[in-house]
Amino acid sequence: MKLIVGLGNPGKEYEKTRHNVGFMFIEDFTRQKDARKKWRKKDNYEFIKFGDLVVCKPLTFMNESGNAVRKIADFYKISPESIVVAHDDLDIPLGNYKLQKDKGPKVHNGIASVENSLETTEFWRLRLGIENREHKIAGKDYVLNRFTKAEEIVILETIQTILVNEDL
């Protein structure tokens, strides 16, 4: 069994923000897999199951994402090596991505929460680049801004590239 998790913050005010690119990835992934499937809610996450693949969005804020990941992984008995966490990454330019195991950004509170809850770093990270700052703005403020229309097009194209090129 495999688990793919998209990190983000719940609520309308966070939709299409850079910090929610993990949610954007998961939503596109599930639409392409089967647009008719509906999200089911349990505890502090929502999920869709496709055979032996579970797709999940934590309903907690980013910094507490690990609790939801741990609950669903425990429920389905999924080992950390079979977990992929999609998230924003300020260390990677907009339009680029990296799929890496046991390696992530220097600082990301959502990833830190997952590592703490799973008690390991041995899971996959789908690091979606969001760095496109022209002006000096603090990372914590930048990630909560919405994508411009041009940036949104780039990120959606990046997601399509991942869905075509990666075996998730």
Residues identified as active-site = 19
DSSP assignments along 36-85, one per residue: T---EEETTEEEEEETTEEEEEESS-GGGHHHHHHHHHHHHT--GGGEEE
Q: Distance (Å, rounded) from C-alpha 113 to C-alpha 119?
A: 10
Q: Which residues contact 72 (CB under 8 A, 6 or more apart)?
A: 3, 5, 42, 45, 47, 54, 56, 78
Token pair, residue 149, equals: 């229309």
